[in-house]
Amino acid sequence: MTKSGHTMAIMGSTSKQSLMILSIIFIIITVSGNNILIPDDFGNINLPDDHLKYYFNSYPKVAEKCRTNPDCPYKEHLDKKSCWGYEDDCDEKYSFLRSQCPGDHKGWVATKQAQIDTFYSQGDFGYIRDQRKEMKLLCEPLYADDSSLECSEHLRFCRGRNIMINFTNLATRSGPIRYAMDVLKAGDIGGYCTLNEDKLEENADHISALQSWGPELRNFRELTRRPIIEGDCDIVIEKPTYIMKIDATVNMYHHFCDFFNLYASLHVNQSHPSTFKTDNHILIWESYSYRSAFQDTFEAFTKNPLWDLKTFTGKNVCFKNLVLPLLPRMIFGLYYNTPLIYGCEKSGLFKAFSEHIIHRLNIPLHKKNDSKIRVTLLSRDTRYRRILNENELVAALEKKPEYKVQKVVYNRDMSFKKQLEITRNSDIFIGIHGAGLTHMMFLPDWAAIFELYNCEDASCYKDLARLRGVKYFTWEDEEKLFRQDLVSKLIYNNISNIFSLL
């Protein structure tokens, strides 16, 4: 029977609404596998201790199995009312860290509660809540073996089942691929499901390489056959696969837009006990071999080798479970391009991300043997934005007996994990404007960041500090700053009177 005839036979006995409900159920139970399996290997859950109660509350059946299993090591984390904050039945008093708004909103909203709610939606788990609420079924399945595709608005986050992607055209393509919006042609991606073409076209309105999945999904088409069952695939990928369109890998600030949004996407996608497991695949949507000083961070998300477009060039590939995560440069996205309301701080989502990375990469927190304040000055070995008299500053700081001071250079000569270890064990982190200040995300909760000069980009790292929940200071008296290079305006010296800000 043809697909259209098959649809007509079903529709004759089942309402459209019922089919929609069944479709959503099928999607939920197959996002990370064909059946909901309760893990026996409790030791492989591998989440920070403070996150375990949220995990077990999300999956009561897993909690019950732990409760009745004498070998489960997590019993102390059971029976604690808790929720991340995006769940439909989440009571605010039991949610993850709630953000605070001690400052003035400067006219953004009418009330203090509106200020709190706005920040929660812009920069906290409220953003996850809204993405989940936006999810729309764009390609509807009838049976479990059919394909499916659902996305949030503007195709910012999508997930699909039994999706086929045809990479055969890449075999004849010349030149490397990065930030390309023409990787796929019409029909190169599709599934055996009923496609709502109008809804897809309506949401394919943010057409830019790193803003949405519109450049790729505008080419989605209905298939006339179930690709996996009918043997139309050269390769079938069984494990969940995340396709990532990544930002600049040489820059920590921009590359961590990728990692942060991948972590946020785990929460948007959360519907299965294996959500946070690392037995999955990550396909980077470019043909360059991935290399980065920050590549260790991928260990927090997958235990398998990374793929790129060269992996499947010339092949027709089917993915049983596919996730297209939030992207690094979305319009009104989170982290980059975030319109952040004044007066608020301490995003639970950013704190959870920090703890997740620190835990997965096994970055130690050293026990302090004294009461000294650990001051870390980040030095730059680049041509621009350098502090020419930084040795004088370090010497002046070292004269203070209450400080334990170190000057560090974070470059390829020091592993990224070692950098994180130094950062995590700093109480005050000092540096001039630059991507290295992104390390503030991994400072301890009580720490402070001192941006010596913001290079006339006042909000970038100030907002990041607010989101992470660490204290932020910057230089205010510019009369004590002297430009060494009046052409580039990027080298500064004679920074004095530092103690008043520490």
Query: For 42-68, what is each residue's pLDDT tens digit?
Result: 777 999 999 999 999 999 999 999 999
Q: Mention every residue, 6+ apart, whose C-beta is less than 8 A from residue 198.
A: none
Is the Cβ–Cβ distance between 268 and 327 less than 8 Å?
no
pLDDT at 13: 38
Strands 281-284 and 307-308: parallel
Q: Domains in the chain and their CATH numbers?
A: 132-324 (no CATH), 363-501 (3.40.50)
pLDDT at 455 over 80: yes
pLDDT at 498: 53
pLDDT at 42: 77
pLDDT at 39: 56
Is the Cβ–Cβ distance between 252 and 436 less than 8 Å?
yes
CA-to-CA distance for 107 and 115, rounded, in angstroms? Answer: 10
> Shortest CA distance to 207 belongs to which of 268, 156, 260, 146?
156
pLDDT at 398 over 50: yes
Angle at 192 between CA 189 and CA 196, to 5 degrees: 80
- If one compares 325 and 41, the residue with the highest pLDDT of the two is 325
CA-to-CA distance for 332 and 284, rounded, in angstroms? Answer: 23
Percent of the chain's residues with pLDDT above 90: 79
pTM: 0.90
pLDDT at 118 over 90: yes
> Shortest CA distance to 23 belongs to which of 198, 160, 131?
160
Q: How confident is the model at residue 502 (pLDDT cuts 50, 70, 90)?
A: low
pLDDT at 306 over 70: yes
Helix (H) or strand (E) holding 376: strand 373-379
For residue 467, what are its two tokens?
């989101």
Task: Tell me the three state secondary structure of residue 32.
Answer: coil
CA-to-CA distance for 212 and 285, rounded, in angstroms? Answer: 13
- Tally Cβ neighbours within 10 Å of residue 336: 20
Question: In one letter, which amino acid is 388?
Answer: L
The DSSP symbol for 314 reads T
CA-to-CA distance for 282 and 243, rounded, in angstroms? Answer: 6
CA-to-CA distance for 245 and 184, rounded, in angstroms? Answer: 14
Locus of tokens 């996407």 = 265
pLDDT at 501 over 80: no
